[in-house]
Amino acid sequence: MRGRLFRLTIRWTACLGVLACAGAGQLSAAGQANTPAATLPVLLRIDPNPVTAISPEIYGVNYDWNKVPAAETPEWIKFMESTACVRLMLYPGGWNPEHYDWANNSMPAWHNQLKNGFDPAADRPGADPRTFLSLAREAAFVTPSTPVMDPATLPQVVALSRDLVRQYGAKVPRWDIGNEWWIQRGGLRFPAILSEDLARYAALVAAVVPEMKAENPHISVFVSGDWEHPEEFAEIRKLVGPKVWAQVDGVSIHPYCGLQPTCDSIPTMTNAVRQASGKDRVFDSQWMIRMKGLPDDYGIKNANRLVLALSDIAHAHIEAAILWPVTSYIPQLNFVSKDYATAYAPGILFGWMSQDYEGQILNTSGDVKAAVAKSASDIHIILPSMRLAPMSVRIPLNGLGVKKVVSAQVLYSDDPDDAHQGRLAKVVPLPTQMSSDYVLTFTLNPGSTNRGKGWEIARISLQ
């Protein structure tokens, strides 16, 4: 009989000064494992010199208005904040802001409704803005850009954006202008249309930013663009003009990564965007690993890749990031079951990262990649195995100022290759050894009775 699944138990207590991530430290009854004789030796070195601070707001998720019904919103938000330890939510999420009726909390039909999986006849709308803000710890809002692809609508869009800031600016500090203007009207296929859309978006920015900032000078307004084409930010900057561009607080990007471009290109490409735009502040207002969701990305494998992608985002000095999607576009990537009773591998892992990968980044080198951070006197390691075969890990700790293991856990699934089983994760103690010269050793992917056969993730706290 398979070990019992990780079961969600939500409780509201202190977690990093705000919320407790209940369940993130719960363990199943399974535990000790026999290490196979043949394992791959792996060395991980940790540089003791801190690199940069990690923004806690990189742990954000997308609230998809047409995927999270209003009746489920309280439970959805409670799970995200208490178990996945989410710090920031994007509203109304995805393509919704381009077609959402803010006054009536409704979604009119649009031309690509079937492509986006939205049924305009459905009677399950998401939460209205005020209800959402009463439930979420912190939110970022997105204003529309699609209507101004018809320039005649520019005054109405500017008025709407200004009014939204008037209503919600006191509770919403971060505002993104539009969702992916560069793919509207077939812009990715037709260069002439892309150029025209860029000019129309720049006209929106030039008109709307002064109005939004005049309504509430304390908000931060971000201008979006295609992260694979930094030159487009330079062109928007030029068209908007220096006076208005000075009022723009930062730029937002959507780094869908994993194949081409790879996620480890995020720091380099983000810096190119900074240089082109002249803005240091960057908001990853939507990001995802492998947008089409290949079969080998599901469940525990997706959790493995999330570790490294979040590390790449932190290394890029990004101030806030929103993971898209978290709901049912690709069920095998979900954070939680539909009844909110079972936390899946990506959701558990996200909570681990939010709790442990905070403070200062410590760089690593060696045979594997890991996310390592130093907070106060503690060092936290989250190491994805990224493979099926057993591996024996050695981590020299001399020079790091730590002497003992405070806790060690491993996240695994019984069958990483199965799209359904691969998301049914378990958390068990991870046996570790510490030598007299402070070399930490442990085994991942032992393939034993009580542990999965691969793609395990280690979580270790040192002091």
Give the pLDDT score at 21.
55
Determine contact, residues 335/62, Cβ cutoff 8 Å: no
Handedness of CA 450, 454, 455, 457 (dihedral sign): positive
- How far is residue 383's CA from residue 369's CA, in Å, rounded to a whole number? 7
Strand-strand pairing, 256-257 and 282-289: parallel
* Predicted pLDDT at 291: 60
User: For 39-43, what is the mean pLDDT?
Assistant: 92
Distance between alpha carbon 421 and the CA centroid of its chain, in Å? Answer: 23
Domain limits of the chain? 40-52+361-462, 53-356
Does position 19 have pLDDT exceeding 90, yes or no?
A: no
Local structure of residue 84 (DSSP, 8 states):
S
The pLDDT tens digits of the residues spanning 211-232 come to 999 999 999 999 999 999 999 9
Q: 359-381, pLDDT tens digit by residue? A: 999 999 999 999 999 998 899 99
Query: Model confidence over 98-133: pLDDT tens digits?
Result: 989 999 999 876 544 544 454 554 457 899 999 999
Q: How far apart are CA 4 and CA 445, in angstroms?
A: 19
Given pLDDT bands bounded at 50, 70 and 90, which one contains residue 295?
low
CATH architecture, domain defined by 53-356? Alpha-Beta Barrel (3.20)
As a whole number of angstroms, the distance between CA 432 and CA 277 comes to 47
Per-residue confidence band for 14, with pLDDT thresholds at 50, 70 and 90: very low
Whether 339 shows a pLDDT value over 80: the answer reads yes
Q: Pinpoint the alpha helices (H) of 278-315.
A: 299-315
Average pLDDT in the chain: 88
Fold that domain 40-52+361-462 belongs to in CATH: Immunoglobulin-like (2.60.40)
- Of residues 86 and 66, the one with the higher pLDDT is 86
Q: Measure the CA–CA gap between 233 and 197, rounded to whole angstroms.
A: 13
